[in-house]
């Protein structure tokens, strides 16, 4: 490329598509994809100059992009295209065959003669190539192609078909499009899209700005839209503007908007709903604060798109909220009063649902769950409750929790599914059950377990305050995994409609926390194992045919989820070494940390390599493990190795039993010299079968001892 020439012909490019209101939750993705698609398309056609930058814009009624340095015409490009074998393209006289002529005609190269073509061999036969320099595409041609491809590849949630102005032609897009702007500098680029011809006319704010804005050039787009159209076209700038206004208003009132994920998700959604954001303050009757705050927060965020305000000291919900309006007016009283008037019946509904629900105890709602289908192959919710109850009692017994509380929590866990509040707001499952259980004077541990059952992870150490929560949490996920997997609904690709991956991660998090808890009975060890848990869960399904293989399959599935989860924190080789043994879940991280420390020892690589050699020898020999006969140990090196194993074995076993995995591996690192000497001096595969089997048995014993914490052979480089 001639940079001096192209520098004189590069200009900023603007492309804007004005539409009807775009889906708010998809707007940011659509805007980015529109800009990326056009940028990629122009880059592939060599129409972007060096140093070109892309800026994307997205409002509820437009997708747009500006590119800083675009060429009017792409530079000429050398090309070489493989045509066909010489024996097919040329006859015995070296003239073009009919096949070659048709090929050249199809490519627009009918002017080329055989002497204009090149011959190259691919090592098997000679091929004809057309080589030359292709004229660079003009921008209009390149942009037309880039536009069409960008629109075709947009991540549109749902496509709609609509008719154009001629009343005959129909097109498909996410929403009807009304205007297309394409400017290279100040010049219109003659492209078309969705039945629209490109021009320079854009649209301003529906009520505050000019309805029709003549864009002077690509450089003035953002400024003109802001000043003349009263629109902030940049999604990111608009989002930051809203955030700053929200924080300013909240600070002025002595409140905060909160810092939870739902707050920021709402900020993104509101950014996609307004073009000129202005924040106002509203309030509701403080009497509504007697309703659980989750109900009020959800109805304000979900239905009204308001930002609830919280007391910064206590974190409690206040009776004030912030409104993000699409209008900036001198007197906002009508806007504020209108929004307050709209939210009042919503909050009144929540209050009515809450008060009505409390008139019926959770326990009395259980009978209705018999007609509520969980899955047609797994029975009703009531049947499921009985399975979860049994598993929860089993878990409680094994972690030292109160089995009666675990049973009660499991019994009532799904009773809120039939309440008015959960019927209106399914997102409040469990949360409302906790409130209603508290109103029914259920034990605090039962209330906490019901409230926490839908958490994705069990985030706090299991101790006497939340062991009932842990029992219900683990039981529900075990029942889900075994039941859903058992009827063949296994996750595939991105499809996981029953949340089995989330259930596996939940069990992992609970087992992790089992290492940190102080159990109900001081000093009582955790006896819960993943295999025992899943096997017990399988037995609760009674007549439902759940294969015995499901236990092993689900166990492996959980360990694979754990493998992926740990990959961002630990070395993959060490993870694989530990998980190869599928140890108790609550020991995995401790073992990985011990194995990581072991891998840094000078003896580690030698022992890992020796271990790998032992594994291969034992696999190749295919002999059953047998007791070592000391009388058959003839060589000093094998006698020394057996003596050292006898010395280290008791200490290593005790360290492993006590959970001192690092100490165990450090102890076993002491066998390196003896192992090296053994392989130097001893022929393992001796001709005498008795000697050979005895030496293999010695190595098998060493392998078992060395691989208690992890499969050390996997650390070999």
- What's the CATH number where 422 sits? 1.10.3210
Nearest alpha-carbon partner for 15 in 237, 232, 176, 218: 218
584 located within any domain: no
User: pLDDT digit string (tens) for 664-711?
Assistant: 999 988 888 998 898 899 898 888 888 888 888 888 888 888 899 999
- 300 and 339 in contact (C-beta within 8 Å)? no
Shared domain check, 110 and 144: no
Shared domain check, 555 and 681: no
**Which tokens is 93 given?**
């006289």
Q: CA dist 425 to 422, 449, 546, Å?
A: 5, 20, 34
Q: Report the CATH number at residue 210.
A: 3.30.70
525 located within any domain: yes
Vertex 673 angle, CA 671 and 675, to 5°: 65
Report how far residue 85's alpha carbon sits from residue 82's, in angstroms, rounded to the nearest whole number: 9
Confidence of residue 101 (pLDDT cuts 50, 70, 90): confident
Shared domain check, 541 and 461: yes
Nearest alpha-carbon partner for 458 in 446, 441, 439, 476: 476
- 120 and 140 in contact (C-beta within 8 Å)? no
583 located within any domain: no
- 570 and 594 in contact (C-beta within 8 Å)? no
Percent of the chain surpassing pLDDT 70: 96
Three-state SS for 105-159 is HHHCCCCCCHHHCEEEECCCCEEEEEEEEECCCEHHHHHHHHHHHHHHCCCCCCC
574 located within any domain: no
586 located within any domain: no
Alpha helical stretches, state H, 528-635: 530-539, 549-566, 572-579, 588-599, 604-621
Shared domain check, 472 and 344: no
Roughly what angle, to the nearest 10 degrees, separates helices 467-486 and 444-452? 40
Confidence of residue 298 (pLDDT cuts 50, 70, 90): very high
Shared domain check, 107 and 24: no
**Which tokens is 521 given?**
């009975």
Residue 38 has pLDDT above 50, yes or no: yes
Confidence of residue 63 (pLDDT cuts 50, 70, 90): very high
**Which tokens is 363 given?**
């326990």
- 35 and 67 in contact (C-beta within 8 Å)? no
Q: How large is the average pLDDT for residues 110-137?
A: 81
Strand partners, 56: 65
Strand partners, 351: none
In the chain, what is the straight-line distance between the N-terminal and C-terminal CA atoms, in Å? 47
Report the predicted TM-score, pTM, of the whole model to 2 decimal places: 0.80
Q: How large is the average pLDDT for residues 177-196?
A: 95
Q: How many C-beta atoms lie closer than 10 Å to residue 488's C-beta?
A: 9
- 520 and 401 in contact (C-beta within 8 Å)? yes
Q: Which helix (H) or strand (E) holds 189?
A: none
- Model pLDDT, residue 417: 95
Shared domain check, 263 and 114: no
Q: CB within 8 A of 135, min separation 6: which ones? A: 76
- 437 and 401 in contact (C-beta within 8 Å)? no
Shared domain check, 533 and 419: yes
Residue 518 has pLDDT above 50, yes or no: no
Strand partners, 66: 14, 55
Residue 88 has pLDDT above 50, yes or no: yes
Three-state SS for 685-705 is CCCCHHHHHHHHHHHHHHHHH
318 located within any domain: yes
Shared domain check, 155 and 39: yes
- Quote the distance between the C-alpha of residue 89 and its chain's center: 53
Number of domains, the chain: 5
Confidence of residue 521 (pLDDT cuts 50, 70, 90): very low
Q: How large is the average pLDDT for residues 271-295?
A: 96
User: pLDDT digit string (tens) for 449-486?
Assistant: 999 999 988 877 787 778 999 999 999 999 999 999 99
At residue 655, φ and ψ (nearest 5 deg) are: -60, -40
Q: Which of 2-11, 402-411, 530-539, 667-676 has the lowest mean pLDDT?
A: 2-11
Quickly tell me which residue has 């300013």 as its tokens: 248
Confidence of residue 525 (pLDDT cuts 50, 70, 90): low
Query: Which domain range does residue 464 map to?
Result: 364-568
Roughly what angle, to the nearest 10 degrees, separates helices 588-599 and 661-668? 30
- Model pLDDT, residue 693: 86
Confidence of residue 27 (pLDDT cuts 50, 70, 90): very high
Nearest alpha-carbon partner for 275 in 338, 340, 225: 225
Q: How large is the average pLDDT for residues 327-337?
A: 94
**Which tokens is 574 given?**
């060490």
Residue 616 has pLDDT above 70, yes or no: yes
**Which tokens is 82 given?**
């493989």
Q: CB within 8 A of 238, min separation 6: which ones? A: 59, 232, 271, 274, 275, 277
Last-in-domain residue among 134, 159, 174: 134
Percent of the chain surpassing pLDDT 90: 65
Shared domain check, 390 and 504: yes
Report how far residue 517's alpha carbon sits from residue 499's, in angstroms, rounded to the nearest whole number: 27
Q: How large is the average pLDDT for residues 499-510?
A: 94
User: pLDDT digit string (tens) for 347-377?
Assistant: 999 999 999 999 999 999 999 999 999 999 9
- Model pLDDT, residue 114: 84
What does the longest C-alpha to C-alpha distance in the chain come to?
102
Q: How large is the average pLDDT for residues 255-259?
A: 93
Q: CA dist 377 to 371, 384, 387, 487, Å?
A: 14, 11, 14, 7
Confidence of residue 524 (pLDDT cuts 50, 70, 90): low
At residue 619, φ and ψ (nearest 5 deg) are: -65, -40
Residue 1 has pLDDT above 60, yes or no: no
Confidence of residue 109 (pLDDT cuts 50, 70, 90): confident
Q: Which of 349-358, 380-389, 638-647 has the lowest mean pLDDT?
A: 638-647
Confidence of residue 3 (pLDDT cuts 50, 70, 90): very low
Residue 406 has pLDDT above 90, yes or no: yes
SS3 308: strand
Confidence of residue 519 (pLDDT cuts 50, 70, 90): very low
Last-in-domain residue among 336, 358, 380: 358
Q: CB within 8 A of 680, min separation 6: which ones? A: 637
Last-in-domain residue among 358, 390, 425: 358
Shared domain check, 556 and 614: no
Shared domain check, 82 and 52: no
579 located within any domain: no
Shared domain check, 169 and 104: no
Residue 625 has pLDDT above 70, yes or no: no
Q: CA dist 471 to 445, 464, 487, 589, Å?
A: 11, 12, 24, 22
- Model pLDDT, residue 623: 62
- 691 and 634 in contact (C-beta within 8 Å)? yes
- Model pLDDT, residue 405: 96
47 located within any domain: yes
Average confidence score pLDDT of the chain: 90
Nearest alpha-carbon partner for 412 in 385, 392, 375: 385
Residue 45 has pLDDT above 70, yes or no: yes
At residue 86, φ and ψ (nearest 5 deg) are: -60, -40
Confidence of residue 516 (pLDDT cuts 50, 70, 90): low
- Model pLDDT, residue 5: 41
SS3 526: coil
């Amino acid at each position: 490329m001639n940079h001096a020439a192209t520098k004189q012909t590069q200009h900023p490019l603007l492309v804007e598509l004005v539409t009807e209101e775009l889906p708010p939750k998809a707007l940011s993705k659509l805007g980015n994809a529109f800009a990326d698609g056009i940028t990629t398309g122009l880059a592939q056609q060599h129409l972007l100059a060096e140093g070109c930058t892309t800026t994307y814009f997205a409002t509820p009624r437009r997708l747009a992009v500006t590119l800083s340095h675009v060429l009017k015409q792409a530079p000429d490009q050398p090309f070489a295209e493989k045509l066909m074998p010489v024996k097919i393209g040329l006859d015995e006289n070296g003239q073009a065959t009919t096949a070659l002529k048709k090929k050249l005609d199809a490519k627009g190269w009918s002017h080329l003669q055989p002497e204009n073509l090149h011959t190259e061999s691919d090592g098997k036969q000679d091929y004809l190539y057309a080589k030359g320099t292709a004229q660079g595409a003009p921008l209009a041609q390149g942009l037309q192609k880039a536009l069409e491809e960008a629109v075709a590849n947009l991540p549109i949630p749902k496509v709609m078909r609509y008719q154009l102005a001629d009343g005959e032609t129909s097109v498909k897009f996410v929403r009807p499009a009304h205007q297309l702007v394409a400017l290279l500098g100040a010049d219109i680029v003659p492209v078309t899209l969705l039945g629209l011809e490109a021009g320079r006319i854009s649209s301003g704010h529906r009520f505050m700005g000019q309805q029709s804005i003549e864009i002077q050039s690509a450089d003035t787009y953002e400024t003109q839209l802001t000043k003349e159209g009263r629109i902030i076209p940049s999604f990111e700038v608009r989002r930051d503007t809203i955030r700053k206004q929200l924080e300013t208003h909240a600070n002025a009132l002595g409140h905060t908007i909160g810092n939870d994920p739902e707050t920021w998700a709402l900020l993104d959604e509101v950014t996609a709903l307004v073009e000129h954001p202005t924040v106002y303050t509203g309030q509701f009757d403080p009497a509504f604060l007697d309703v659980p705050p989750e109900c009020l927060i959800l109805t304000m965020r979900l239905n009204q798109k308001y930002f609830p305000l919280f007391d910064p000291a206590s974190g409690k919900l206040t009776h004030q909220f912030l409104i993000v309006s699409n209008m900036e007016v001198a007197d906002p009283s009508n806007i504020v009063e209108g929004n307050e008037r709209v939210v009042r019946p919503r909050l009144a509904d929540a209050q009515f649902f809450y008060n009505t629900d409390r008139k019926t105890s959770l326990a009395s709602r259980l009978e209705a769950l018999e007609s509520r289908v969980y899955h047609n192959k797994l029975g009703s919710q009531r049947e499921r409750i009985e399975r979860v109850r049994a598993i929860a009692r089993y878990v409680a017994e094994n972690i030292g929790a109160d089995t009666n509380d675990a049973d009660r929590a499991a019994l009532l866990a799904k009773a809120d599914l039939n309440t008015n509040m959960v019927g209106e707001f399914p997102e409040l499952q469990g949360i409302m059950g906790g409130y209603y259980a508290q109103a029914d004077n259920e034990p605090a541990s039962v209330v906490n377990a019901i409230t926490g059952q839908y958490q994705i992870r069990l985030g706090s150490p299991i101790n006497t305050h939340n062991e009932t929560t842990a029992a219900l949490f683990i039981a529900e996920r075990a029942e889900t995994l075994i039941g859903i997997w058992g009827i063949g609904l296994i996750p595939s690709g991105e499809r996981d409609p029953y949340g089995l991956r989330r259930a596996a991660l939940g069990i992992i998090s609970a087992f992790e926390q089992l290492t940190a808890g102080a159990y109900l009975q001081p000093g009582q060890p955790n006896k819960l194992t993943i295999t025992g848990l899943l096997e017990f869960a399988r037995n609760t399904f009674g007549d439902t045919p759940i294969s015995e293989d499901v236990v092993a399959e689900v166990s492996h599935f959980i360990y694979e989820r754990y493998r992926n989860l740990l990959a961002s924190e630990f070395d993959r080789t060490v993870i694989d070494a530990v998980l190869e043994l599928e140890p108790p879940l609550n020991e995995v991280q401790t073992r990985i940390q011990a194995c990581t420390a072991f891998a840094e020892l000078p003896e580690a690589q030698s022992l890992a390599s020796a271990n790998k050699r032992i594994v291969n020898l034992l696999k190749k020999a295919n002999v059953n493990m047998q007791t070592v006969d000391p009388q058959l140990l003839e060589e000093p090196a094998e006698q020394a190795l057996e003596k050292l194993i006898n010395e280290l074995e008791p200490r290593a076993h005790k360290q492993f039993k006590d959970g001192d995995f690092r100490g165990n591996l450090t102890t076993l690192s002491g066998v390196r010299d003896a192992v090296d000497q053994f392989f130097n001096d001893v022929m393992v595969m001796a001709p005498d079968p008795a000697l050979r089997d005895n030496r293999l048995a010695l190595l098998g014993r060493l392998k078992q001892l060395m691989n208690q914490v992890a499969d050390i052979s996997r650390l070999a480089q």
